[in-house]
Every structure is written in C-alpha cells, then in structure tokens.
Amino acid sequence: MLQMEEDSIKRLLSEKRRQDSVAKLPVPLTSSSGEQALTTSRLYVSVNGLKVRKDPSLDARIITELKLFDELYFLGEVTEFTQEINMGKAVVNEPWVKVQTREGRSGWVYGAGVHYYKRKHPAAE
C-alpha cells in the first residue's frame, strides 16, 4: 500500500512540474478542428514584414503582416513540402509553419521567417 501512495505522489509532482513548464498564453490556442491545444512553443519573427497567410502559399490571402521580433505561437503543423524563396541576400528552401499571433489570429508563415530566438534572419534584407 505504501508503494502505491509513493508512486501516486511522484506522478502528481511530475504532472505539476510539467504543467508549470507550459507557457501561459494571452489567448487560448485552438486547432483547426476547434479543440484547444495542450502545449505550444513560442516563436519570434525574424524577417520584418512577415506575412501570415490563410494557406501555406505565396498566392494565399494575407491575414496580417508582422514586425521583426513579434511573438508567435507554433500550432504544431508544418508542411511536408518546402518552397524556395529569395529573401534578398540569399535563396532559402523552407517549409511553411502554422502559427497564432498574440491577438489570436491563426495562419501560415514561411519557415525562414520565424525562429526560436529573437534574431534577424541573415538572408533577409
């Protein structure tokens, strides 16, 4: 009986640590099916003027435009395909990434336009 209680306490403490490590978001994240996302990663815009698009394509409708170092949240989706885009100083080949802005707008951004750290992409003008 004592072993089961110890295991339960360890499990509860482990769960509490995991919950504490999850970033608190200003708006609830939702998936395309309407379900709330459980965890997320914070990303930063690495290209000034990065466009959030309805679909992962340069031809897709623009939802909003972002400034350098704006904060975004990764929604766990990345395209299986990559696309070559001239970023000014170099041509890069990256997938598209689904994100949500701090204001709660969801859409797709070109993968080279975001990074886990606040830094400007070296290929961007």
What is d(CA 109, CA 5) in angstroms, rounded to the nearest whole number?
48
**Number of domains the chain is built from:** 1
Q: Is residue 2 part of a domain?
A: no
- pLDDT for res 85: 92
What is d(CA 76, CA 57) in angstroms, rounded to the nearest whole number?
18
Report phi then psi at 103, rounded to 5.
Answer: -85, -5
What is d(CA 73, CA 28) in angstroms, rounded to the nearest whole number?
11
Q: Is residue 1 part of a domain?
A: no
Task: State the average pLDDT over residues 56-75.
Answer: 96
What is d(CA 125, CA 110) in angstroms, rounded to the nearest whole number?
16
For the stretch 82-123, pLDDT in tens is 999 998 889 999 999 999 999 999 999 999 999 998 988 888
pTM of the entire predicted model:
0.68
What is d(CA 72, CA 118) in angstroms, rounded to the nearest whole number?
11
| 8 A C-beta contact, residue 8 and residue 2 | no
Q: Is residue 66 part of a domain?
A: yes
- Bridge partner list, 74: 41, 99
Q: Is residue 97 part of a domain?
A: yes
Q: pLDDT class for 24, splitting at 50, 70, 90?
A: very low
- pLDDT for res 94: 94
Q: Is residue 122 part of a domain?
A: no
Higher-confidence residue of 86 and 2: namely 86
| 8 A C-beta contact, residue 72 and residue 25 | no
CATH number at residue 81: 2.30.30.40
14's tokens = 């482990």
Q: Is residue 38 part of a domain?
A: yes
Count of Cβ atoms closer than 10 Å to residue 43 Cβ: 21
